[in-house]
């Protein structure tokens, strides 16, 4: 009886491995080293360049393995430079849509894309939309996804030595902590398994031209330095002279008191622009100071942080009511607190215009069970309206509409709350370290005299007069202007 030879990445799929296949792998391991047809791999003399020359061919063109798998190789540049893309050798049976990716050794995705214009077989190349800055002597993982298997391979390829030559190499199995990597855990999974030092014929396109020799600088900001009348809904951005190492980016926005504005930032590699998005609207007529500091993708740090100021305008933002403090897509950091005690949870808020509160909302986790009631209170604890939530869903935002709306006055603080009879409320610690603004509503920052994020324990609805740490319990009001 004849057995097919089964390639290396069937570890974990033992039903596919025959005795003859294991014997074949053992033989390849004994041979070791560079067993590519045509002799040892030769590095190209100029860049852009790759570990394997274009005339390299696999020992086994078609593995015969029909399962979808991510296959990869570890590479190490000897110069600072860019990885422009990913390559792989394709058998005619390696069909379907292939994606390629570049990773750090710990599985952080640096770039990805889809191969296009493929030929029936041979080397296929994906060029990333933006080249990725890579450091000399650092290790990276290049991979591609073969949705229908039938990848190419050589067993034992990286056992005795690496491949390629400066400025881009693939380390040996020992030096690389296992080379020739794979995973069967889906198209977007990081390939962190290795078996028998196999080469799956994955490669990179590397270039060492155009690497900056000086520290990065900020070439543009938005808003500009000294700008006035800036809209309360504005984002803040800085554009840099070189590609950044995002893990080093420090972006701070603070008001004139030094209080930092909470928010998130995103980095666009193509334009080398970092954008800070505040968690809520910015207060009007306020001077803000923005500061950015970072290192580029090759480890060069800015000589000093870039600092600039701008001032928000006094015109109120446009709004449409009914309106609330939090959008329908807003979610808590912790969905279920695991506190099983019955508790009233609330938020202080102040309308900027006269109007009426028509109801109360809260974010519900799946463990926050039982009958929930909602209330509106004056700041001194007088209950202005209450009701019972109906037709709740298993989780997410729930809304109670009061039988009768409550008129509220501009500049006056109120408390919206709900009662959780089984606890397990949602929360985000420290959320109200800064005021949360969605005009015409404001949730004031938590201070010693007027802490925000309120609560009160009890088996029935009580005024939530306690607070601490500015915790947001994800309670909200439904407001309509008069």
Confidence band of 469 (pLDDT split at 50, 70, 90): confident
pLDDT at 96 over 60: yes
Task: DSSP for 269-327, please give it.
Answer: TTTTEEEEEESSPPPTT-EEEEEEE-BBTTSPBPSS-EEEEEEE-SSPPP--SSB-SS-
Least confident interval from 363-372, 431-440, 460-469 = 460-469
User: Residues 452, 464: contact at Cβ < 8 Å?
Assistant: no
Share of the chain above pLDDT 90, in %: 88
Confidence band of 35 (pLDDT split at 50, 70, 90): very low
* pLDDT score at 450: 76
**pLDDT digit string (tens) for 323-348?**
999 999 999 999 999 999 999 999 99
pTM of the model: 0.81
Q: Encode 48-66: b = buried (16+ Cβ within 10 Å), e = exposed.
A: bbbbbeeebebbbbbbbbe
* pLDDT score at 482: 76
Confidence band of 287 (pLDDT split at 50, 70, 90): very high
**pLDDT digit string (tens) for 110-125?**
999 999 999 999 999 9
* pLDDT score at 9: 57
Distance CA(145)–CA(188), nearest Å, equals: 8
Mean pLDDT of 154-183: 96
Task: DSSP for 198-264, please give it.
Answer: -B--EEEEEE-SS---S---EEEEESPTTEEEE-TT--EEEEESS-B-GGG-EEEEEETT-PBPPEE
18 versus 59: the higher-pLDDT residue is 59
Radius of gyration of the chain (CA): 30
pLDDT at 26 over 90: no
* pLDDT score at 448: 66
pLDDT at 14 over 80: no
* pLDDT score at 449: 67
pLDDT at 33 over 50: no
Task: DSSP for 414-462, please give it.
Answer: EEEEEEETT----BBTTGGGS-EEETTEEEPPP-SSS-SSEEEE-SS--
**pLDDT digit string (tens) for 180-192?**
999 999 999 999 9
Which long-range contacts does 188-191 make (Cβ < 8 Å, 24+ apart)?
Answer: 188/112, 188/145, 189/70, 190/70, 190/103, 190/107, 190/109, 190/141, 190/143, 191/70, 191/71, 191/72, 191/141, 191/143
Write down all domains in the chain, each with its CATH number in brackets: 8-207 (2.60.120), 218-312 (2.60.40.3780), 343-481 (2.60.120.820)
pLDDT at 34 over 70: no
């Amino acid at each position: 009886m004849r057995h097919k030879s089964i390639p290396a990445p069937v570890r974990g799929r033992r039903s596919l491995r025959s005795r003859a296949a294991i014997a074949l792998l053992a033989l390849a391991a004994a041979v070791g080293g560079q067993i590519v047809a045509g002799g040892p791999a030769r590095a190209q003399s100029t860049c852009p360049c790759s570990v394997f020359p274009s005339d390299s061919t696999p020992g086994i063109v078609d593995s015969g393995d029909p399962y979808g798998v991510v296959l990869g190789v570890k590479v190490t540049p000897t110069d600072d430079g860019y990885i422009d893309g990913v390559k792989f050798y394709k058998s005619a049976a390696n069909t379907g849509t292939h994606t390629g990716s570049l990773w750090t050794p710990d599985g952080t995705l640096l770039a990805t894309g889809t191969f296009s214009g493929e030929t029936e077989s041979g080397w296929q190349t994906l060029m990333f939309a933006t080249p990725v800055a890579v450091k000399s002597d650092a290790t990276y993982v290049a991979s591609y996804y073969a949705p229908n298997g039938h990848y190419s391979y050589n067993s034992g390829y990286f056992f005795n030595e690496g491949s390629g030559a400066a400025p881009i190499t693939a380390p040996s199995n020992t030096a690389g902590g296992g080379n020739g990597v794979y995973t069967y855990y889906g198209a977007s999974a990081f390939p962190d398994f290795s078996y028998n030092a196999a080469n799956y014929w994955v490669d990179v396109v590397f270039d060492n031209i155009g690497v900056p020799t000086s520290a990065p600088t900020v070439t543009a900001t938005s808003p500009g330095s000294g700008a006035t009348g800036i809209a309360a809904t504005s984002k803040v951005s800085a554009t840099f002279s070189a590609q950044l190492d995002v893990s080093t980016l420090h972006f701070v926005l603070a008001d004139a008191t030094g209080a930092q504005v909470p928010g998130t930032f995103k980095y666009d590699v193509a334009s080398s622009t970092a954008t800070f998005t505040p968690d809520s609207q910015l207060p009007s007529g306020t001077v803000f100071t923005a500061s950015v500091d970072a290192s580029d993708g090759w480890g060069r740090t800015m000589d000093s942080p870039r600092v600039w100021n701008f001032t928000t305008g006094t015109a109120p933002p446009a709004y449409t009511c009914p309106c609330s403090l939090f959008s329908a897509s807003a979610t808590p950091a912790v969905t279920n607190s695991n506190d099983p005690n019955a508790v009233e949870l609330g938020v202080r808020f102040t309308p900027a215009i006269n109007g009426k509160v028509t109801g109360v909302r809260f974010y519900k986790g799946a463990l926050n069970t039982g009958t929930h009631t909602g209330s509106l209170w004056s700041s001194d604890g007088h209950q202005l309206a209450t009701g019972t939530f109906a037709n709740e869903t298993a989780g997410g935002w729930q809304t109670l509409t009061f039988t009768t709306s409550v008129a509220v006055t501009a500049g006056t603080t109120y408390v919206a709350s709900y009662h959780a009879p089984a606890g397990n409320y949602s929360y985000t610690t420290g959320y109200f370290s800064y005021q949360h603004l969605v005009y015409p509503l404001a949730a004031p920052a938590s201070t010693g005299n007027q802490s925000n994020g309120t609560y009160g324990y009890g088996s029935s609805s009580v005024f939530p007069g306690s607070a601490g740490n500015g915790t947001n319990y994800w309670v909200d009001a439904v407001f309509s202007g008069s």
